[in-house]
Structure 1
Amino acid sequence: MALKTGIVKGDIFLKHIPGDGCPDTPQRLKSIYSMLNDSDMQDIFVDVLPKKAEEEDILLLHSREYFEKIAETKGKELIAFTADTHACEDTFDAALYAAGGFLKAISQVVEKKLDNAFALIRPPGHHAEKSRAMGYCLFNHVALGAIFAQKILKLDRILIVDWDIHHGNGTQHAFERDPNVLFFSIHQAGLFPGTGIFTETGLGAGEGYTINLPIPKGYGDAEYTSIFECVLAPVAERFAPELILVSAGFDTHKDDPMGGMLMTAPGFAGITASIKKIADKICGGKIVMSLEGGYNSDALSGAVKAVLKEMAGITCCDVSAMAEKANKKKVDYVVRRYIEVHKYLWDFF
């Protein structure tokens, strides 16, 4: 059965041009938006017109001083925050519409106007800290979305899944003391920003509610799907979230220049199906994704298509069959390390 899957998109996101040499180019979204016009993608999805976030929305997470620092870039030529993170004259507006569009999608899913949604937006967000831009990211959409769901929509428990090849440091830091937000990140070990080791499990009351799986390069579709089934599914069922937010990065694709993973479009459908199975069982299917990385435009558009079709119920990946093809040694390494660290924090082992 086809589901009502919302898509946040807009030309404003193409106006963020971070300068020569930055992999986060407008072409990333142009390729995705072009793919949405394919014949097999017609009349399936619901457009969610991006809404500009208000200052008070951004201040749910970010400091006022930081907000004003980003706002000062409006209308100005290229400004560098770090060696890899820049703003141009339209970046501030793009970032506001990205955050606002994501919050609007969350509202519509929670209010059951949509079954699920995918915000195809930029600049990305998961590296942005409370008062610091980094890793191409300015405002942390997913972290803002979780706080918005807690404070404005009055939800109690939120699961954040980050499958980008890079660790979502900003998201982790936003919730590492919060036992009501479970943060699950699977990422390639040894890459930027250098955070997200197995033993980073949260602090204080939040201990145990941060799960980091830094994995060696060379993991593919079957391994990722198996890890989602072996690790994420049981802990998510125990946590029982009311909403699942996903930092969906596609730089784990085998053709992406950023890392050394072996994912393909069917694998992204597999991990989406695994998350969807969790959501259908626990929180009425409520999933909202936000685009993070993915820097090979052709690979990106194909992988996003596979995810969207899975979200909309057009395809239905056989998760078990895919997971059974995994290299057992690769999966066992991750599961064993996870259990070693978390067995004192969760009592179901």
Structure 2
Amino acid sequence: MFANADLHIHSPYSMAVSRSMQPESLIRVCVTKGINVLGTGDALHPGWMKAWEPFRENAAGIVIVPQGEVEDERRVHHVILAEDPAQFGQLRDLMAGKCRSFETSGRPHVYLSGGEIAAAAHEVGAMIGPAHAFTPWTAMYAYFDRVADCYGTQPIDFVELGLSADSSYGAAIPDLYNVPFLTNSDAHSPQPEKIGREFNRLLPKALSVKGVLACVKEGGIAMNAGFFPEEGKYNRTACVRCFTQYSYEEAVRYGWRCPDDGGIIKKGVSDRARELSKGGTSRPRPPYLHIVPLGQIIQTVEGASSPHTKKCTEIYTSFIGSFGNEIAVLIDAPVAEIRTIHPKVADAVEALRSGSVVLHPGGGGKYGTFSL
């Protein structure tokens, strides 16, 4: 038995998040997407967890995992997973006096170190790991070279790779040899191209919150799936104003300032991962499948302005009607069957599965793109 899990999303209580991020909408899109396990997002916010109460036991067969994200005193972000929402209430109590935004922010800023937050999470029986660990803003490897520099003596239970990295970026970092990798959407809107755009295929012994968390802790991850790293906003070293990309050596020579407009040159995830991997040997990891959301594929092959045009929506709906959900189309359905509905989409899915696409890497805060 496998389960497709997206264990990091957000609520309307976080910045730049759609007001449509409501439990009903999230459950509905998970069914369409093929997600069996979903993190609640923002579980430290009491109002958001109250909104989830009617749905935790009645979510169309989807396992709802209490999940939150917190920002520490260095602005590093951490993902926390727990079996029961009450554990997040206990965590708020432990961090009382160190945060002024539990009632107002879905992703609160806490005036504690990463190690102190991890210690509190472990004290209440929760799991913790760095969010989007390689991103050059608000991430562990943006500020630290080693896990212990961020978390002190506290262990981490997982590492979330983020949209600009895949498993190969962390496989040769000695610090991470025995740490499970997670791939989550960090979604801010309840659209099929956002929810589950990165997910984990798990092999839990029981399809329950307890079974899912045990599976993650024990490394029972059959596959990670997500973007080509080049599609991420920070994959390449680039200027944050004009997005001109530079090699690492060029950035050093220019003093990390763009010679064209004086903007900051931000070190890309690919260069940062190479730095961190020096001296390490790449260790085996579960397979990583590079995917592109089905709506984006349809938009590309149709030359449409959006995946939500009438024609694109009709094509998308026909695929869901035939195969049940989007992940089945992207990963499991025979290409020959996909071709009976839309030959160009079938060609694109075949190209994605074989990795034969042309990538135009992102950097400096601008998403990368792909072409067929």
TM-score, normalised via structure 2 length: 0.32
Q: Which entry has the higher C-alpha Rg, 1 or 2?
A: 2
What TM-score does the superposition give when structure 1 sets the normalisation length? Answer: 0.33
The structure carrying a bigger helix percent of its residues is 1
